[in-house]
């Protein structure tokens, strides 16, 4: 990780902050708010597509797709299981319905 | 149903991107610009996430729920990392890279772009897959866990996704009170991940 990478990350926080401030001041029923949700979904799809494009164009990744899939599944299963057990451990401490 | 549709649409997007990239129909020049395009899209999405959090007046909500509610996101993070440690040991995977993957906590768009940028497309693909599978597992398991009266562990599975993609499902199956617990968990984790992943990445060689 270089200083440029750290700077790139630091830029994300004022961006998040600006969004928070604009959202805080906004009328939730405004047309542009609904539009921003659509834009978010389209932006997400575009980002995923671009990531797919990068994955597909890398011979190194394509050659190891099976191994990457196995590792991804293992990480997903164990981290999800760990979180669920964490949730189980604290569920009686939660206020309201969490006590069930 | 709407959530499952979105997950399917995401899968269609990634698979069509992979096919197009692998087909060689896209020029190297375009692919070389994909990095900056992905980063620009990520900035846009972060801004829109901020608007969404602002509209929900998160600061007021944080004041009202009290510290007890923090127990769940903390337990989710600790549980995830314990699972991540097990995965790194089982796969004999580089430890800090494994912790970076785990630190995504389900936020695949952010984690995969960061990992791709700093550690290459192989890690980007792995970050995407492990976090997307987590979202899919939550969608598949939550209704069953709710029926078994294990609703909170079901919410915990979702990590950061319980603020958006899996929230609608949790609201529909579990009801509004559980939806609030889910939203709060997703919100706290969404605020943690942008700090956590870069912090862990600093220790990766």
Q: How confident is the model at residue A28 (pLDDT cuts 50, 70, 90)?
A: confident
The pLDDT of residue B163 is: 82
Q: How confident is the model at residue A48 (pLDDT cuts 50, 70, 90)?
A: confident
Residue of B nearest to A36 (CA): B48
The pair of three-digit structure tokens given for residue A41, joined into one six-digit string = 């979904």
Q: Scanning the structure block, which residue is given the tokens 């791709």?
A: B116
Q: Scanning the structure block, which residue is given the tokens 């991804």?
A: A72
Q: Considering the domain boundaries, does residue B17 fall inside one?
A: no
A85 pLDDT higher than 90: yes
Report the domain count for chain B: 1
The 10s digit of each residue's pLDDT in A67-78 is 999 999 999 999
| Buried-state track A23-35, b at ≥16 Cβ within 10 A, e below 16 | bbeeeeeeeebee
A37 pLDDT higher than 70: yes
- Residues of A with Cβ-Cβ distance to B124 under 8 angstroms: 51, 54-55
The pLDDT of residue A95 is: 64
A1 pLDDT higher than 60: no
**C-alpha distances out from residue A41 to B10, B28, B109, B190, Å:** 10, 27, 12, 17
| Structural domain span for residue B4 | 1-11+89-205
Q: Considering the domain boundaries, does residue B70 fall inside one?
A: no
**Smallest CA–CA separation between A35 and chain B, in Å?**
11
- Residues of A with Cβ-Cβ distance to B21 under 8 angstroms: 52-58
Q: Considering the domain boundaries, does residue B77 fall inside one?
A: no
Length of chain A in residues, anyone?
100
Q: Considering the domain boundaries, does residue B67 fall inside one?
A: no
Q: How far apart are CA B58 and CA B87, in angstroms?
A: 34
* Chain mean pLDDT for chain A: 84
Q: Considering the domain boundaries, does residue B36 fall inside one?
A: no
* Positions of chain B with pLDDT lower than 70, given as ranges: 1-4, 7, 58-59, 61-67, 205
The pLDDT of residue A2 is: 63
For the question of whether the overall pTM of this predicted structure is more than 0.80, the answer is no
A35 pLDDT higher than 50: yes
The pair of three-digit structure tokens given for residue B17, joined into one six-digit string = 């991107």
The pLDDT of residue A98 is: 46
Q: Considering the domain boundaries, does residue B179 fall inside one?
A: yes
The pLDDT of residue A100 is: 43
Residues 14-73 (A) with a CB less than 8 A from some CB of B: 15-26, 28, 33, 36-37, 39-41, 43-58, 60-62, 64, 68-69, 71-73
Domain definitions of chain A by residue range? 64-100
Q: Considering the domain boundaries, does residue B62 fall inside one?
A: no
The pLDDT of residue A81 is: 97
The pair of three-digit structure tokens given for residue A64, joined into one six-digit string = 């190891």
Distance linking the first and last C-alpha atoms of chain A: 45
Average pLDDT over residues A32-44: 85
Q: Considering the domain boundaries, does residue B57 fall inside one?
A: no
Q: How far apart are CA A98 and CA A96, in angstroms?
A: 5
A90 pLDDT higher than 60: yes
């Amino acid at each position: 990780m270089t200083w440029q990478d750290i700077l790139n990350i630091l830029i994300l926080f004022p961006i998040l902050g600006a969004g928070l401030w604009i959202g805080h001041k906004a009328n939730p029923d405004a047309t542009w708010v609904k539009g921003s949700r659509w834009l978010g979904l389209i932006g997400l799809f575009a980002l995923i597509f671009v990531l797919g494009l990068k994955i597909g164009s890398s011979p190194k990744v394509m050659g190891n797709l099976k191994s990457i899939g196995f590792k991804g599944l293992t990480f997903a299963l164990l981290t999800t299981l760990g979180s669920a057990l964490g949730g189980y451990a604290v569920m009686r401490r939660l206020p309201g319905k969490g006590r069930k | 149903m709407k959530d499952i549709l979105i997950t399917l649409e995401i899968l269609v997007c990634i698979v069509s991107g992979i096919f197009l990239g692998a087909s060689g129909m896209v020029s190297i020049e375009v692919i070389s610009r994909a990095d900056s395009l992905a980063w620009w899209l990520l900035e846009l999405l972060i801004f829109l996430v901020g608007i969404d959090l602002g509209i929900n007046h998160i600061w007021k909500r944080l004041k009202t729920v009290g510290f007890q509610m923090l127990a769940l996101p903390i337990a989710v993070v600790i549980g995830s990392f314990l699972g991540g440690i097990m995965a790194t040991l089982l796969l004999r995977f580089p430890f800090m890279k494994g912790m970076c993957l785990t630190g995504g906590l389900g936020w695949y768009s952010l984690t995969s772009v960061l990992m791709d940028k700093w550690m290459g497309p192989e890690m980007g693909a792995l970050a995407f897959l492990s976090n997307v599978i987590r979202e899919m597992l939550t969608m598949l398991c939550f209704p069953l866990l709710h029926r078994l009266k294990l609703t909170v562990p079901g919410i915990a599975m979702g990590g950061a996704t319980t603020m958006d993609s899996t929230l609608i499902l949790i609201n529909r199956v579990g009801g509004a009170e559980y939806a609030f617990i889910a939203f709060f968990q997703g919100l706290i984790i969404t605020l943690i991940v942008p700090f956590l992943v870069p912090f862990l990445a600093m220790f990766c060689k």
